[in-house]
């Protein structure tokens, strides 16, 4: 971290990371019953915090997870954690857990949710990454929520790395869904194509920003199922995530994207995206 990572905000209070602990009976730990949001911190600032808190609230509603804190409280905790750790560049994560309830999966009545905020260092920026097709996307029947049930993504990524690739493209029922921690875009015939939300992918904040930018500058863009074979036939491909921004895909299963990494469309979008981030931070 540029700045330390020793402070954690837990339930409204800043504390040393080593003191930030939750009960082993928290359903977030026992069952992955909770949600999280991760945001990039750049020059000490956040991109679209409101959109993240909005997505958190929408996801919580879908799993009947009460969020008993005013949104301002969560936003303040995030800002305080950034300040306490003197983070200039890195990532910040807000996690919400269901809390302790009656033991057993049957009921979560009377559980009291917890929230905590943690930071981590910026990962070195990469020029482009290699993708393997690895991992079945879990496509829970609550598609698009960012729950604590993240193991399938970790495993897909691990499999990809074991095979010498940087990241995994997870698939479901013959369609490409997303990478382990990022949404996928491909470029074909000058147009953008990204899996629709029905695919089960996360409704990414950066994904939405790219779609907005494309609309604004009249680059055609569609959200629709992406058959697994298509990314390999694209001119260009890139990933989007809050933490890493827009990252060109150099190759898929070893086959280079012919348009380059970044190709011309991706390069243009990176420039526009960076301008958008800078403008909103101003």
**Interface residue list for its own copies (CB under 8 A):** 5, 8, 10, 17-18, 20-26, 28-33, 36, 63-64, 91, 93, 95, 97, 102-106, 108, 116, 118-121, 123, 135-136, 138-142, 147-158, 173, 180-181
Task: Please report how many Cα atoms fall inside a 13 Å half-sphere around the Cα of residue 179, on the Cβ side.
Answer: 29
Toward its own copies, which CB reaches closer, 84 or 148?
Answer: 148
- Contact, 248 vs 264, CB < 8 A? no
Whichever of 94 and 187 has its CB closer to its own copies, that residue is 94
Nearest Cα to Cα of residue 266 among 248, 252, 279: 248
Sign of CA dihedral 219, 220, 222, 227: negative
Angle at CA of residue 51, ends 79 and 47, nearest 5° = 55
If the CB atoms of residues 31 and 69 are measured against its own copies, the closer one turns out to be 31
d(CA 131, CA 244): 15
Distance CA(276)–CA(150), nearest Å, equals 30
CB of 155 vs its own copies, minimal distance in Å: 6
Shortest CB 136 distance to its own copies, Å:
4
**Shortest approach of its own copies to residue 67 CB, angstroms?**
16
Q: Which is nearer to its own copies, 70 or 104 (CB)?
A: 104
Strand partners, 38: 93
Residue 149 main-chain phi, psi, to 5 deg:
-80, 75
Residues 6+ apart with CB under 8 A from 150: 32
**Shortest gap between Cβ of 178 and its own copies (angstroms)?**
13
- Choose between 23 and 73: whose C-beta lies nearer to its own copies: 23
In the complex, the smallest distance separating the C-beta of residue 188 from its own copies, rounded to whole angstroms, is: 27
With the C-alpha atoms ordered 192, 194, 197, 198, is the resulting torsion angle positive or negative?
Answer: positive
Q: Is 230 exposed, middle or buried (0-12, 13-18, 19+ CB in 10 A)?
A: middle
CB-wise, 184 or 219, nearer to its own copies?
184
Tell me whether residue 87 or residue 234 sits nearer to its own copies (CB atom). Answer: 87
Instruction: Return the axis-axis angle of helices 205-216 and 264-281, rounded to nearest 10°.
Output: 110
Report the nearest approach of its own copies to the CB of residue 172 (Å): 9
Q: Report in angstroms how near the CB of residue 271 gets to its own copies at its nearest.
A: 27
**Least distance to its own copies, CB of residue 103, Å:** 3
By beta-carbon proximity to its own copies, the closer residue of 240 and 263 is 240
CB 175 within 8 A of CB 225: yes
Q: Backbone phi, then psi, for 214, in 5-degree steps? A: -60, -45
């Amino acid at each position: 971290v540029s700045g330390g990572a020793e402070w954690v905000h837990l339930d409204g209070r800043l504390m040393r990371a080593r003191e930030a602990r939750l009960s082993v009976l928290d359903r977030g730990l026992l069952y992955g019953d909770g949600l999280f949001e991760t945001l990039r911190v750049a020059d000490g600032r956040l991109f679209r915090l409101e959109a993240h808190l909005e997505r958190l609230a929408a996801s919580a509603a879908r799993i009947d997870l009460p969020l008993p804190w005013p949104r301002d409280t969560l936003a303040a905790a995030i800002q305080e954690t950034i300040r306490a750790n003197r983070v200039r560049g890195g990532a910040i994560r807000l996690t919400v857990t269901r809390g302790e309830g009656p033991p057993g999966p049957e009921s979560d009545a009377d559980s009291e949710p917890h929230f905590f905020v943690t930071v981590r260092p910026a990962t070195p920026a990469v020029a482009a990454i290699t993708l393997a097709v690895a991992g079945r996307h879990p496509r829970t029947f609550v598609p698009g929520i960012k729950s604590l049930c993240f193991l399938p993504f970790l495993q897909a990524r691990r499999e990809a790395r074991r095979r010498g690739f940087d990241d995994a493209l997870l698939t479901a029922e013959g369609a490409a869904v997303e990478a382990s921690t990022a949404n996928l875009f491909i470029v074909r015939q000058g147009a953008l194509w990204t899996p629709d939300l029905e695919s089960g992918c996360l409704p990414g904040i950066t994904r939405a920003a790219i779609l907005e930018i494309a609309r604004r500058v009249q680059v055609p863009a569609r959200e629709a199922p992406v058959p697994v074979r298509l990314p390999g036939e694209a001119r260009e491909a890139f990933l989007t995530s809050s933490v890493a921004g827009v990252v060109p895909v150099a190759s898929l299963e070893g086959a280079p994207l012919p348009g380059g990494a970044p190709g011309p469309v991706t390069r243009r979008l990176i420039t526009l995206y960076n301008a958008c981030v800078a403008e909103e931070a101003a």
